[in-house]
Amino acid sequence: MPKIKELTALEILDSRGRPTVRATCRLGSGAVASASVPSGASTGAAEALELRDGDPHRYAGLGCRQAVGHVNGEIHRCLCGTVFDDQASLDQSLIELDGTANKSRLGANAILSVSLAFARATAAESEVPLYSHFAEMLGRCRGKMGQAPGLEVASSRIRENSETFREGRPPTPNPNSHEFGHSPSKNVASKAPNARAPEPAPCSAIRRFPRLTINLFSGGKHAGQQLPIQDVLIVPASPTTVADSLVMASAVYQAAVRLTAAKYGQRWLTADEGGLGPPARSPEELFEDAVQCIRDAGFEPGRDVCLAVDVASSHFYRDGRYDLRSQPCSGSELIERLCAWTRDFPIVSIEDGLAEDDWQHWPALREALDGRALVLGDDLLCTNPQRIARAVQTRACNALLLKVNQIGTLSEALHAYLLARAAGWQVVVSVRSGDTEDDWFSDLAVGWSGDQTKAGSLTQSERLAKYNRLLAIEAELPLPIVDWPHVAEAGVRTAPPS
């Protein structure tokens, strides 16, 4: 079992030039590893709290010296010399040490950096690839509980609170379970002599790679708000390998560079996640451009390449109305427009089609898009088991966008993942708009058998690091990609409206 010898942290800069945290974990065996945490621009209200310094004279208040200080100080002092049974025991100790519902005392950025660094150091100690360690973590959790820690309790509480959900009130949290922001009183970590971790089980559970979804065009908070919606992504649908998917995506992206220059007179400038930001007049025009780029690259829209859309509706939702810069509309009217998008364009996934607090209309959106496109929750869910439980009960969506830093530890993210899986949902593993060249994301997506990845576009080193790591893993594990989307079943169009 791994014993922590030293924890240190450093303030570094992410892809937007804003501070973030990199932690290093040294174990008693001599194994040492570091990990960096990402940061989002488009954040949900229910996300765990990143601790920022607030000094206006330093990085406009976004410095992370306090979070770094917590790792170098209190977290190191409290955990140094402790032997942990597994990742869950380490994460539980961090949660208890912080003592808040949203990790606001020590900071989710401090806590997650330690959680990730410990996972990577443990994998190094066991002499296994990180993706194998993540797969073993998933397998152990399923083997011990049959599902995620606390899932049986959470599932029963979903049933018990069915009437509560119908009335629009939040569920009653379990005070003994940390998945609702509380911590059990018992600390499972202990001080003991160090022992080598047991040999890991083979990664037989990894049978497929996630399908790639890749940013093509961006708007919203990722690209200066030239359009309200946040991202239009391409989904290479016909390739059966990561390598072939990237070849196809590169051809479409280069076609988009040419189209943006010819149609809009715009240079090759990119948004936070590498997507292009042409000044289209409407989302529909952007979809038409995407379809044209697919054709210009020599592929068939809806057969070879499909589209996914991150609407990020919370950012243009005010007083119960949605403003897409045409005519403000109601939730029901926006659902009609989203359905029209899936009828007119080869769109197979819609993320945050409604605002994070518009619970009333989400079930209608899922029903309306059933069989045509995934209804993917990001801001709605925030990788938070409480919100996932409510979404399962109300049938609000059918896919989870998993972002580990939204909840703050690997173990809580795994709980969210298994809640989604128990509901029959798909899981899309995602990066953030502010990221680093660290590539643990790719190992996590493979080890936890994600259905799709959302890692940004094919430009900028912090994005390419993830794709390059996927290529390296694929060279070690020559497995097929997830068989999705089923475009014939979804009935997507292969041509834009006339």
- pLDDT value, residue 422: 95
Phi and psi at residue 164, to the nearest 5°: -60, -45
Q: Does residue 229 lie in a domain region? A: yes
The residue among 188, 158, 205 whose CA lies nearest residue 395 is: 158
Can you tell me which residue has the tokens 């518009």?
358
Tell me whether residue 381 is exposed, middle or buried, using C-beta atoms within 10 angstroms of its C-beta: 0 to 12, 13 to 18, 19 or more.
buried
Cα distance between residue 179 and residue 182, in whole Å: 7
Give yes or no for a cis peptide into 149 (omega within 30° of 0). no
List Cα–Cα distances, 286 to 199, 229, 345, 459, in angstroms. 51, 10, 11, 20
Cα distance between residue 460 and residue 143, in whole Å: 39
pTM: 0.85
What domain range is 397 assigned to? Answer: 211-490
Tell how strand 32-36 and strand 19-27 pair up. Answer: antiparallel
Cβ neighbours of 359 (radius 10 Å):
17
- pLDDT value, residue 183: 32
Q: Does residue 263 lie in a domain region? A: yes
* Count of positions (residues) in the chain: 498
What three-state secondary structure class fits 299?
coil
- pLDDT value, residue 152: 35
Q: Which of 109, 128, 143 is the last residue of a domain?
A: 143
Task: Tell me the CB-side half-sphere exposure of residue 125, using CA atoms within 13 A.
Answer: 26
DSSP 8-class letter at 302: T
273 flagged as catalytic: yes
Q: Which of 94, 118, 143 is the last residue of a domain?
A: 143
DSSP 8-class letter at 344: H
Cα distance between residue 305 and residue 316, in whole Å: 29
Active-site hit among 403, 412, 462, 466: 403
Residues 324 and 428 in one domain: yes
**Where would I find the beta strands (DSSP E) of 315-379?**
317-318, 321-322, 347-351, 374-377
Phi and psi at residue 375, to the nearest 5°: -105, 100
Q: Which amino acid is at 435?
A: D
Cα distance between residue 229 and residue 276, in whole Å: 13
Give every residue of the chain whose pLDDT is below 50, as ranges.
Answer: 145-202, 222-223, 488-491, 493-498
Cα distance between residue 229 and residue 222, in whole Å: 10
What three-state secondary structure class fits 85?
coil
Cβ neighbours of 190 (radius 10 Å):
11
Cα distance between residue 178 and residue 412, in whole Å: 8
Q: Does residue 279 lie in a domain region? A: yes
Active-site hit among 47, 125, 179, 273: 273
Residues 94 and 242 in one domain: no
Q: Does residue 389 lie in a domain region? A: yes
Instruction: Find the helix or strand (DSSP H, E) in which 452 lies.
Output: strand 452-454
Instruction: Please state the domain count of the chain.
Output: 2
Residues 349 and 484 in one domain: yes
Cβ neighbours of 385 (radius 10 Å):
27
The residue among 460, 454, 455 whose CA lies nearest residue 269 is: 460
Residues 127 and 245 in one domain: no
Q: Does residue 103 lie in a domain region? A: yes
CATH classification of the domain holding 17 = 3.30.390.10
Residues 123 and 218 in one domain: no
Q: Does residue 387 lie in a domain region? A: yes
Residues 75 and 224 in one domain: no
Q: Does residue 23 lie in a domain region? A: yes
Phi and psi at residue 35, to the nearest 5°: -150, 145
CATH classification of the domain holding 451 = 3.20.20.120
Residues 345 and 455 in one domain: yes
> Is 114:22 a contact under the CB 8 Å cutoff?
no
Q: Which of 143, 164, 198 is the last residue of a domain?
A: 143
Q: Residues 338-354, buried b or exposed e (16+ Cβ, 10 A)?
A: bbebbebbbbbbbbbbb
- pLDDT value, residue 220: 66
Output the six-digit token pair for 201. Answer: 């089980």
- Tens of pLDDT, residue by residue over 433-456, are 889 999 999 999 999 999 999 999
The residue among 480, 478, 458, 479 whose CA lies nearest residue 467 is: 458
What three-state secondary structure class fits 316?
helix
> Is 231:275 a contact under the CB 8 Å cutoff?
yes
Residues 116 and 265 in one domain: no
List Cα–Cα distances, 432 to 66, 194, 274, in angstroms. 22, 36, 12
Cα distance between residue 359 and residue 423, in whole Å: 18
- Please give the angle made by the CA atoms of 118, 120 and 121, to the nearest 5 degrees: 65
403 flagged as catalytic: yes
- pLDDT value, residue 467: 97
Which residues are registered as beta bridge partners of 32?
26
Q: Does residue 497 lie in a domain region? A: no
